[in-house]
A and B are shown apart, each in its own frame.
Chain A
Amino acid sequence: MTTRAIDLDRLQRWMQTVIVDRDGVRAGAASSHARRHIDLAPEQIEEVIGRSRALSGVERLAMYGRSYFARLVECLRAEFPVLLHALGQQLFDLFALDYLQSNPPSSHTLHHLGEGFCRHLAETRPNPSTPQGYRESWPDFVIDLAALERAFSEVFDGPGVEGKTNLPDSRSLLSIPPPQLLRARLTPVPCLRLLRFRFPVNMYFQQVRRRVNPELPQAADTFLLITRWEYRVALHDLSRRQYDLFSALAAGNSVGSAIALTSQPGEDNQTLDAQALRWICDWAEKGLFLAVDFELS
């Protein structure tokens, strides 16, 4: 075929298909996807891509193919340094390549590159249908750690409340008459994330960041709240009940409903209610709420 005067759109679609093929540009050019745009056999690539004095058209095009994956894998390594530490570079890169192959980037910013990595790891974990407890647990550690690092990154560079005044603090909450406070809804700050893990990944994360080389931890349910204050990311371990309470508040329940939802039958609810209110005041003191709204009654 003659390839003179190829439509620019066809050319770009062909070239992109060829260079993002994980098996290399020859395989990419031979693929039906590429040939749908420009019907060229790999040995005909020089009908489109010129050679230089030193390199063939295929060798030159292959530079873009190699760089595509290498560049993006480097970016994922930068976003998930603790997961990289845990897995080692070889295994991390395999996961990263697998992710990139099925999730090619579309955003104008690399800040979004890793946002689907955790989900991809969860969707591609071994033995997904085997019940927890009967399957290997290390993939859960990998998935949890990826979730933590992604959340950390989002909180670090996402919207925050710096410069905002009049965030509700404990004093302002306590000044509200109790019946009214129980009907109030508390809006969390936009930089807050609540995370539930099957491994104590926060402990692992902190140790690696302190350049300690920890053992992979034993499985244990852990709960974490991530937020940001004055541009610094803060991580707060939560108990199960604290996590449930904050989750209920974040879901839009009133203070009273959230407390009721997280109380257990047969427990001393009065004591628990008082404890829950203390937690809420403590969270307000940490600047975790953006606003207090009152239910219309």
Chain B
Amino acid sequence: MIQARLGHPFLGFGVGLRGMHMQYVLEQNPAVDWFEVISENFMDSGGLPRYRLNQIAERYPVAMHGVSLSIASTDPLNLEYLKKLKRLAAEIGALWVSDHLCWTGVAGINTHDLLPIPFNERSLAHVVGRIRMVQEFLERPLVLENPSSYITFTDSTMKEWEFISRMAEEADCGLLLDVNNVYVSGINHDFDPVEYIESVPHNRVIQFHLAGHTNCRTHLIDTHDGPVIERVLELYRHAYRLTGGASTSIEWDARIPAFPVVHAEVVKARDYLNAKPTSRVAEPPEIGEPGAFALSNPMNFLVPDPVGS
């Protein structure tokens, strides 16, 4: 019998830490349950961002979330990257280390995007093998997130949730269930997000992600630039109950507002868990014009910001 959350603690309702908020956090000590930090922001930093992270990690529980592991790439695993990842996790006492089920590049290139793979037996064997290697190196279970995606491959032979479930079981890893991503991909790929949520192995869900997205009418883009919509909160509540509860964090990566606004968003999600179910809650207006361009996975918040610091 597998322990719920693979034995990881329930941290409560946290915030994805962004550089522009670090000074505020250190000065104001906001009542946040925990912080999720972007691994690549700090693994090479010898300056103010890393100094501030060390201080924050002394005051709050932290987990690490990466964007460059590229677990599904066919390039060899980057040993130098893994060494830095392991060192950072040890130095800040990260409770777990997560990344995405994706590849970020091949042939030595890092596109800095979270690119999808076909869901078939060969991809599964490839990814499971690499997760095992990473876990052995890091000496801890890896936690992998379902990314949002905009394409499907004709080469896929199984549903995304079947792939993720088998991956988690066969590699014995944890899951970071991004509920917004399930919703976004569900719209983009014409699947039922509830079926997805109900199908993943709930005892392996260590963490939830929530975020905003942009409605471009023909598809949704995972822009992380606004509040979480009601339908995603409904899905979250469903997932939360199925899993028995898992640590939750909010991601806000573009048009980032002041820290209290971001924090309020995860508090809203927490309160939503206990709110009476409503039959039809009015949807907040979604933005985006037909054919409008919206940027998925914005990354400019990962560039060190000496001016804003």
Contacts and interface: CB of A to CB of B under 8 A. Distances in A.
Interface of A: 3-6, 8-9, 11-13, 15-16, 19-20, 46-50, 52-55, 57, 59-61, 63-64, 66-68, 70-72, 74-75, 77-79, 81, 104-111, 113, 152-153, 155-160, 162, 209, 228, 231, 233
Contacts of B113: 19, 64, 67-68, 71
14 contacts: A4-B154, A6-B155, A49-B151, A50-B154, A50-B156, A60-B219, A68-B113, A71-B299, A75-B299, A106-B105, A113-B303, A153-B304, A158-B47, A162-B51
A225 B226 CA distance: 41
Nearest to A17: B107
A66 B295 CA distance: 8
Q: For the side of the interface on B, what is the size category?
A: 35 or more
B111 A50 contact: no
Contact of B296 (A67, A153, A162): A67
Interface of B: 40, 43-51, 68, 73-74, 78, 81, 103, 105-113, 115, 117-118, 122-123, 126, 150-156, 188-190, 218-219, 221, 293, 295-300, 302-307, 309
Contacts of B40: 108-110
A109 B42 CA distance: 9
A11 B110 contact: no
Contacts of A110: 40, 112, 299, 302-303
A77 B300 CA distance: 8
A64 B306 contact: no
Given A71-B112, A74-B298, A157 B304 contact: yes
- By secondary structure, the A interface counts as helix
Residue from A47, A67, A152, A228 with most neighbouring chain B CB atoms (10 Å):
A67
Contacts of B151: 49-50, 57, 60-61, 63-64
B118 A156 contact: no
Contact of B49 (A53, A67, A113, A157): A157
Contacts of B298: 71, 74
Contact of A49 (B48, B154, B190, B300): B154
Given A47-B154, A157-B47, A52 B189 contact: yes
A108 B109 contact: no
B296 A63 contact: yes
Contacts of A52: 152, 188-190, 219
Nearest to B188: A52
Residue from B155, B297, B303, B309 with most neighbouring chain A CB atoms (10 Å):
B303
A109 B106 contact: no
Contact of A50 (B48, B103, B153, B293): B153
A53 B112 CA distance: 28
B102 to A, nearest CB: 11
A159 to B, nearest CB: 4
B43 A50 contact: no
B305 A152 contact: no
A90 to B, nearest CB: 16
Contact of A111 (B73, B154, B303): B303
A153 B46 CA distance: 12
B194 to A, nearest CB: 18
A79 B307 contact: no
Contacts of A105: 105, 109-112
A153 B295 contact: no
B115 A64 contact: yes
Contacts of B49: 157
B74 A12 contact: yes
A4 B122 CA distance: 12
B78 A108 contact: yes
B126 to A, nearest CB: 6
A109 B80 CA distance: 12
Given A71-B299, A107-B110, A162-B51, A3 B155 contact: yes
A61 B219 CA distance: 12
Nearest to A60: B151
Contact of B155 (A11, A71, A78, A106): A11
B214 to A, nearest CB: 12
Closest CB pairs A-B (n = 4): A9-B74, A108-B68, A159-B46, A54-B218
A54 B219 contact: yes
